[in-house]
A and B are shown apart, each in its own frame.
Chain A
């Protein structure tokens, strides 16, 4: 009996360790350990033994059963491990392949830049305001200290609808509307679309965008203008950016300045971007002309203010390195995707 158990155990163990299929393993289990299995048969045959030997024989058989069950379980686990390893091996893919990304959509670069600028000024207490694109001569010129004979009318070739109605040539038109409605303290930012009769080329477009800023309060100085524009330049062109004021002329400000930022490409040494000057013209600004304040019913002896006008398209092109105004309005999808 004992011999038979030993033999069966040894044979079965050998089969288990050779087994490579889970199904075969199961077959072994049924054949040896099943209800009619070989080991079960040996157990059953115990009834032929003398009663005093039965407990001993029972122990031997049960020990063999336990041993074989463990061996089967171990083999089972091993086979599963191999099977998983094989599956993982077979499922390997070529990770170098790219597929089209999900269409995520995105904003036009002008909108992206406009949002950044409005957020910046909004955080400094500026109210963002909008005003009409089709304007009267009064708001676009007259109230901005540009009477009919003024040479500044020549500076800007304006599109006219009637003798008195035109496409605004500057967002400054919105200044006057604001100051008519709201009295100081005023901190306003007016981004918008403007129009000038310029043929479209790399640097011109008959449609473009400005962001007009206006501050009117008691004791506002040119140094305050410098302060806010310094902040602006640092925010948009980098922490080390410096600004420079150059005298200029706008009818609605006095004194008037052009503002240059040190070239962020070369740090002011001179490069292709700044045409070797080390400076990039970013905006026009000045102290609000007394006549403009008066026209809007604000006492210029009590209040002073400053105004500035940023060319949104220009800033966008500088920041994103876009080299032609035409590209901006062409709206090629391959262009649009680059900013999002």
Chain B
């Protein structure tokens, strides 16, 4: 909210305190001043000057030479202005002056005659007719007669400082000048001056009636003002509205806005000639009911929206905007002034549904308290009286629903002190609360505090504790270390430990971790050429996404990763390994009825000259080994975005939990990737929360191991990996087998290949004899012959 210091000073004096000091103090009681606005900022050395002489410039037809009294001296100014006359008072920017647009004025010769300044237009000073009559003319701003030399900022009432204060959502009562004045008075230990609520009223022939038909309105009051004279508001009122960023319209509208800013009560003025029988009905609209609002647009309402109506038609959308025809015009003679309280939820919902916001709806959405209704109306009536904008009448009506009772909190200084952890005496507590208009009784240590009606945020002793510490000072909170708390054993759970371990492993492969958004584009599914029936298309949609780019929760991490890979390629980064451990969101049914599965998932991407299917496979194998996971089945990859011949799916319990391999060339193209990329995806949810079983130590061989090589010729389609596996299990002495070469070509029959492997033989309890070695070798060979029709090469 915007708080002009001069307006504040009307209710509490801040003399001797700079705006900066005030801002610092406000921060300590919970109000952050986001900006200190100095209204006349940028205007320096501009004064009122009286024109004493005007003569024609000897060398220029369009220029005049003026002698101007600027207070302490008389200066010569050369001007091209046409609208000036001897005796006029005008703003003069002296030598060295600055204007709000940053322009700097210096003395300079104009066609041979020194000009010691410049006369200014309203526009050059950043003011319009709203500030001072004549500011809008095309020419120099002619001021009323003022002592020459007066600072123009005083003349134009630009010497105002405004605090732009951020008010937390629990304090709607501070969204107005008087509410902030109350806090500041308590803060400074000064007296809060009362609002001016005095007026005289006359009788009026007709009395309004009010009927409230819905709980969304808890109080509605209205008062007739007769003999209304629509005109311009006085300067002081228009200035104040200007300081808080509101445009002056006319005296009646200005009064309603002024009260909104000063006491936080939205008001609405109806022209009585449009209110049938002055009979106000507060009711829900009927479905399809239409109203043309002050913005000249027609809105179609529904039965959740509250309207102010007479017995014929809706007059206003309650708390949001008045109807076009019932509003104030230049011919308005009698006004029905509404001051009411509508529920913030209803106003918000209506405002949102209609896409219609106003200062009034913004205020209601924050919450208007019950007491403000009467304070706001009385303040407005006092202003009508003061401004002679109309005659206040005794013609008044009001209706209530559910009048709130002031809340009383019974507690003790001990409880408050215990929560804060410091000792605060009952009388100190009482003094602070009284300063905030609580009614307080102390009896020994016990405290009874009744909150004022505008403090709807107060519920229990913890709220009082906050009020106390805000003013007692948070500096008094000292560091202690939970001396009363029981000791607890901290730590991470198995899942988190395992994830950390997995990330360490991935880093060991030389991969860098990335972090990407959990929501992705719908387009990703087609980029990954997912078939229409793919489960990965069962994505959870966000109702209100920021954009199409981030509109569904991801069921796979591949598309996010590929975007990152593509981004890196675009930045000329080559040869890298990346990984992410993130969640995929798997719905049991769509639309969502219950919370979905959030599955921990790993994705890796390898790219570079030395990467291949086998480098990514080795990383996968290492992860599985470290987590003691043994896939039951391995098949060529079935996912649409993998190269069908250079990818693999691993299964456990019939579930494909891991896929890896080369990215499908079409998919690479869809992501704008030209280089080869190998990826791996692993659903961790099946094992990440389980402790990794302890390793069982295998005693180191005591006796010499023997290494033997073997090359066999098999048919092309026999997987070399299977040969290794068979060799490994062909004889109990064989403790290790690995592939070292595959050869195709001369000397090998077409459709066949030579697979060379080496294996290690060892016995736990003796040195092997030549005979045993030969037997084991033959066992390996014969196993391969039997299983694959292998022939020794």
Does B466 sit at the interface, judged by CB under 8 A? Answer: yes
Please pick, from B459, B482, B585, the residue contacting A215 in the complex, using a CB distance under 8 A: B482
Does A226 sit at the interface, judged by CB under 8 A? Answer: yes
Does A55 sit at the interface, judged by CB under 8 A? Answer: no
Q: List CB contacts (< 8 Å) of B522-580 with chain A.
A: 540-546, 550, 553, 564, 567-568, 571, 573, 576-578
**Chain A residues closer than 8 Å to B564, beta-carbon distance:** 330-331
Q: List CB contacts (< 8 Å) of B484-522 with chain A.
A: 484-493, 495-496, 500, 503, 506-519
Stretch at the interface among A46-54, A77-85, A120-128: A120-128
Question: Contact: B577 with A245, CB < 8 Å?
Answer: no
Contact residues on B (Cβ < 8 Å of other chain), bracket: 35 or more
Known: A126-B490, A247-B474. A331 touches B514 (CB 8 A): yes
Interface size of A by CB at 8 A reads: 88
Does A212 sit at the interface, judged by CB under 8 A? Answer: no
Does B728 sit at the interface, judged by CB under 8 A? Answer: no
Question: Contact: A222 with B419, CB < 8 Å?
Answer: yes
Question: Contact: A122 with B512, CB < 8 Å?
Answer: no
Please pick, from B465, B517, B568, the residue contacting A255 in the complex, using a CB distance under 8 A: B465
Question: Contact: B512 with A223, CB < 8 Å?
Answer: no
Q: List CB contacts (< 8 Å) of A293-340 with chain B.
A: 304, 328-334, 336-337, 340
For the complex, give the distance between the alpha carbons of A130 and B583 in Å: 12
Does A236 sit at the interface, judged by CB under 8 A? Answer: no
Does A149 sit at the interface, judged by CB under 8 A? Answer: yes
Question: Contact: B510 with A104, CB < 8 Å?
Answer: yes
Stretch at the interface among A23-31, A56-64, A106-114, A263-271: A106-114
Output the least CB separation between A69 and chain B (Å): 44
Question: Contact: A134 with B598, CB < 8 Å?
Answer: yes
**Chain B residues closer than 8 Å to A15, beta-carbon distance:** none
C-beta contact mask, B170-204 vs A, less than 8 Å → 1, else 0? 11100000000000000000000000000000000
Known: A165-B595, A332-B568. A159 touches B545 (CB 8 A): yes
Known: A107-B507, A167-B542, A246-B28. A228 touches B481 (CB 8 A): yes
Does B470 sit at the interface, judged by CB under 8 A? Answer: yes
Please pick, from B470, B480, B484, B506, the residue contacting A247 in the complex, using a CB distance under 8 A: B470
Does A103 sit at the interface, judged by CB under 8 A? Answer: yes
Smallest CB gap from B507: residue in A: A105
Question: Contact: A220 with B493, CB < 8 Å?
Answer: no
Does A34 sit at the interface, judged by CB under 8 A? Answer: no
Does B479 sit at the interface, judged by CB under 8 A? Answer: yes
Known: A125-B489, A226-B477. A111 touches B513 (CB 8 A): yes
Question: Contact: B595 with A136, CB < 8 Å?
Answer: yes
For the complex, give the distance between the alpha carbons of A247 and B477 in Å: 12
Q: List CB contacts (< 8 Å) of A236-262 with chain B.
A: 244-249, 251, 254-257
Stretch at the interface among A3-11, A90-98, A192-200: A192-200
Smallest CB gap from B420: residue in A: A222
Does B343 sit at the interface, judged by CB under 8 A? Answer: yes
**Chain A residues closer than 8 Å to B96, beta-carbon distance:** none
Output the least CB separation between A196 and chain B (Å): 10
Most buried by A among B463, B465, B488: B488
Question: Contact: A337 with B512, CB < 8 Å?
Answer: yes
Does A155 sit at the interface, judged by CB under 8 A? Answer: yes
Q: List CB contacts (< 8 Å) of A119-157 with chain B.
A: 121-130, 132-136, 148-152, 154-155
**Chain A residues closer than 8 Å to B28, beta-carbon distance:** 246-247
Question: Contact: B515 with A110, CB < 8 Å?
Answer: yes
Question: Contact: A331 with B578, CB < 8 Å?
Answer: yes
Question: Contact: B591 with A162, CB < 8 Å?
Answer: yes
**Chain B residues closer than 8 Å to A247, beta-carbon distance:** 28-30, 466, 469-470, 474
Does B83 sit at the interface, judged by CB under 8 A? Answer: no
Question: Contact: B550 with A133, CB < 8 Å?
Answer: no
Does A13 sit at the interface, judged by CB under 8 A? Answer: no
**Chain A residues closer than 8 Å to B585, beta-carbon distance:** 133-134
For the complex, give the distance between the alpha carbons of A108 and B460 in Å: 44
- Majority SS of interface residues in chain A? mixed
Question: Contact: A125 with B484, CB < 8 Å?
Answer: no
Smallest CB gap from A205: residue in B: B517
Known: A105-B507, A255-B466, A331-B564. A249 touches B484 (CB 8 A): no
For the complex, give the distance between the alpha carbons of A122 and B492 in Å: 7
Smallest CB gap from B482: residue in A: A224
Known: A118-B492, A127-B488, A187-B488. A246 touches B474 (CB 8 A): yes
Please pick, from A115, A151, A245, the residue contacting B477 in the complex, using a CB distance under 8 A: A245
**Chain B residues closer than 8 Å to A340, beta-carbon distance:** 507, 512
Known: A111-B513, A151-B365, A329-B517. A287 touches B419 (CB 8 A): yes
Question: Contact: A161 with B512, CB < 8 Å?
Answer: no
Output the least CB separation between B461 and chain A (Å): 9
Does A178 sit at the interface, judged by CB under 8 A? Answer: no
**Chain B residues closer than 8 Å to A231, beta-carbon distance:** 479
Does A12 sit at the interface, judged by CB under 8 A? Answer: no
Question: Contact: B515 with A224, CB < 8 Å?
Answer: no
Known: A107-B503, A134-B585, A245-B474. A160 touches B418 (CB 8 A): no
Please pick, from A107, A219, A332, A334, the residue contacting B513 in the complex, using a CB distance under 8 A: A107
Please pick, from B466, B490, B512, the residue contacting A254 in the complex, using a CB distance under 8 A: B466
For the complex, give the distance between the alpha carbons of A304 and B462 in Å: 10
Known: A130-B496, A207-B518. A160 touches B466 (CB 8 A): no
Q: List CB contacts (< 8 Å) of A197-216 with chain B.
A: 197, 199, 206-207, 215
**Chain A residues closer than 8 Å to B481, beta-carbon distance:** 224, 227-228
Question: Contact: B485 with A106, CB < 8 Å?
Answer: no
Question: Contact: B465 with A103, CB < 8 Å?
Answer: no
For the complex, give the distance between the alpha carbons of A23 and B496 in Å: 70
Smallest CB gap from A259: residue in B: B474
Does B169 sit at the interface, judged by CB under 8 A? Answer: yes
Question: Contact: B485 with A255, CB < 8 Å?
Answer: no
Smallest CB gap from A224: residue in B: B482
**Chain A residues closer than 8 Å to B591, beta-carbon distance:** 162
Smallest CB gap from A306: residue in B: B482
Task: Return 21 A-B CB contacts under 8 Å, by A number.
Answer: A103-B510, A105-B506, A105-B507, A108-B513, A115-B500, A122-B490, A152-B169, A154-B348, A161-B540, A161-B542, A167-B553, A187-B485, A187-B488, A221-B480, A223-B420, A247-B28, A249-B169, A249-B170, A331-B514, A331-B564, A332-B567
Q: Which 6 A-B pairs have the closest CB atoms?
A: A221-B421, A223-B421, A247-B30, A103-B510, A219-B484, A255-B466
Given contacts A159-B544, A215-B482, A304-B419, 12 further A-B contacts (CB under 8 A): A102-B510, A105-B508, A105-B511, A133-B583, A134-B598, A149-B348, A159-B519, A162-B591, A217-B482, A227-B482, A246-B32, A290-B462
